[in-house]
Structure 1
Amino acid sequence: MEDPHLFRPLLAPTATTSSSSADAAGTACADENDADYHSINHLSSNTSITFRLLAVIVLGVISIWANHEASKGFDITIINEAKDSPAGRRFELFYISNDKATRILLNTSSFAENILYPNTNFSLDSKKQVQHVTLRLTTNTTQRILVAVDTTNESNDDFVISLSSSVMSDTNIANANHAIVSALQRGMARIWLWDGQSRAPPSLIQGLVEYISMLAGFGDAKNYVGGELPEFGHICWDSKDAGVTARFLEFCEVNHKGFIQRLNQGMRQRWDNRTVDDALGMEAKYLCDSYKMLS
């Protein structure tokens, strides 16, 4: 009788064990791969969501910044009516070809705007709107009036600054540059000032323009402090000399902080004899008397 053990595979148990181990290992590997797959998918999904959120945030910030910048800016047009003259050719070379005139307009505008409309104190509806500024270098060579400002529409947000070509008469470019920046600072100051719907006294508006220019380092304000001041009338801001008025306005600002901003806001929709008094919080004549008595 044959021994049944002779027909048993010698490696069967091991093979079975190996097969079982292999199956277990395969199952474990599959589970591990599946776990890795889900982990990778989860990570990829999280990364995608994070990226999209960051993209939305960045786009939002850019949009807010763009709107903020747009709210501060205005369109600029440069016209060189004196282009066939030596002054006009120098203006083209030094101020138009390299956009320097545009940069000067923006810088002088920002300076005047920040004095008259501190960001923390004034809302958008109380701020004068400036949509477009045209700078014209005119053929007018009159030395008496270097810069003039006019509006071109009823909404009073489109302005023309006429700059006399005489500012380029000095061949020394440094001197010419000083004259141009000084003139444009006055022009932009006039643009940002309210004027009581054109009813405010010209002497006061000119004094305010000179005051802002003085702060920018371009003012020609004379210091007539002490003694009798024949240039003044009884209210101290009706002088024909804008520099004299500017010094009095400076005196008012020093003694009543925020006076210049309040006065500008007071002229937004009206003008009457109490506008200056209201901005000071007292009758201007008393401060005028104090100013005259200073030594």
Structure 2
Amino acid sequence: MPEKLIDQVEVELLDRNLTNGHTIHVKSFGRKNKYVLSLNPLVMEFGDFKSRIRKEIQRGMAEMLLFDQRHRAPMTLLDGMVEYINELASFGGPKPVFKLRDFSEKCWEDKDPRVVAKFLANCEERSKGCVGRLNQEIHRDGWYEDKIDKVLGFSAIHLCAKLSDFVLKGEDVSTE
């Protein structure tokens, strides 16, 4: 599958507050797409606003790479993929606090994107390139329940169980 081409990105600082740090929309001009990343003006109120703006732009760019996937895969997985990309770029959120709680058997459905990102990082450790392959597979064929298993070559539920076991024991959640 060819890489996703992003023809143009416009970054704007809005004059009204948003409920999120940013929004994204696409303007199409024939065969070209222009992505518009609108930043919430509240980002200017942070002590280190330059860092906050960089973080919002990085998050927005990660979302753009997954933009056409929004209706093809669970939002929890897509949010986790965005968080995973941001962690790779050192823009991830605070490290998750894994309190004793119920974990979904399908950890890619966890409501905390940092947990899903950790799951994806564990998948990547076990099968190099699997996150990219997963993105490509979702783009090509859409989503179905066994998609992650197909990309990994084994049942993803085992990694979810391992992640859950580490959390319950209060240990580091890496698979190493």
- What TM bracket, shorter-length normalisation? 0.7 to 0.9
Give the 3-state SS of the residue equivalent to 1:205 in structure 2. Answer: helix
Residue in 1 that maps onto 2:174: none
Q: CA deviation at 1:208?
A: 0.6
In structure 2, how many angstroms separate the alpha carbons of the residues matched to 1:176 and 1:206?
Answer: 23
CA distance in 1, matches of 2:151, 2:165: 22
Question: 1:240 Cα shift?
Answer: 1.6
Report the alpha carbon displacement of residue 247 of structure 1 after superposing the two structures with TM. 1.2
Q: Greater Rg, structure 1 or structure 2?
A: 1
- How far is 1:155 from its partner? 5.9
**CA pair 244-221 structure 1, distance change in 2 beyond 3 A:** farther
| Distance in structure 2 (CA, Å) of the matches to 1:137 and 1:195 | 24
Q: Could you tell me which of 141, 164, 174 is aligned with 1:292?
A: 164
1:145 aligns with 2:32: no
1:223: how far off? 4.0
Q: Cα offset for 1:229?
A: 4.1
Give the TM-score, by structure 2 length: 0.82
Pairing partner for 1:239 from 91, 101, 110: 110
Instruction: Decide whether the 8 Å contact of 2:13 with 2:39 is kept in 1.
Output: yes
Distance 1:276-1:221 versus aligned 2 partners, 3 A rule? farther
Distance 1:165 1:252 in 2: 36
Q: Which residue of the partner structure matches residue 137 of structure 2? A: 266
1:281 aligns with 2:153: yes
Query: Which has a greater percent of strand?
Result: 2
Q: Does 1:193 align with 2:69?
A: no
CA distance in 2, matches of 1:222, 1:283: 26
CA distance in 2, matches of 1:131, 1:161: 14
Q: How many residues are matched?
A: 165
**1: CA distance, partners of 2:128 / 2:101:** 24
2:41 counterpart residue number: 165
Give the superposition deviation at 1:166: 0.7
Amino acid at match of 1:158: K
The structure showing larger relative contact order (alpha-carbon pairs under 8 Å, at least 6 residues apart) is 2
Q: Note the C-alpha offset of 1:198.
A: 2.4
Aligned counterpart, 2:86: 213
Cα distance, 1:221 vs. partner?
5.2
Superposition map of 1:118-133 within 5 A: 125-133=1-9
Check conservation: 2:119, 2:159, Cα contact below 8 A.
Answer: no
User: So what's the TM-score if we normalise by structure 1?
Assistant: 0.51
Q: Percent identity?
A: 33
Corresponding residue of 1:248: 119
Q: Give unmatched runs, 5+ long, in structure 2.
A: 172-176
Distance 1:196 1:180, change over 3 A: closer
Q: Which amino acid aligns with 2:55?
A: S
> What value does the CA root-mean-square deviation take over the aligned residues?
2.3
Query: Would the alpha carbon gap of residues 282 and 196 (structure 1) be closer, same or farther in structure 2, given more than 3 Å must change?
Result: farther
One-letter amino acid of the counterpart of residue 238, structure 1: E
* Per-residue Cα deviation, 1:207-248 (whole angstroms, up to 9, x for no partner): 1111111121111153456x8542x32200112211121111
Higher helix share: 1
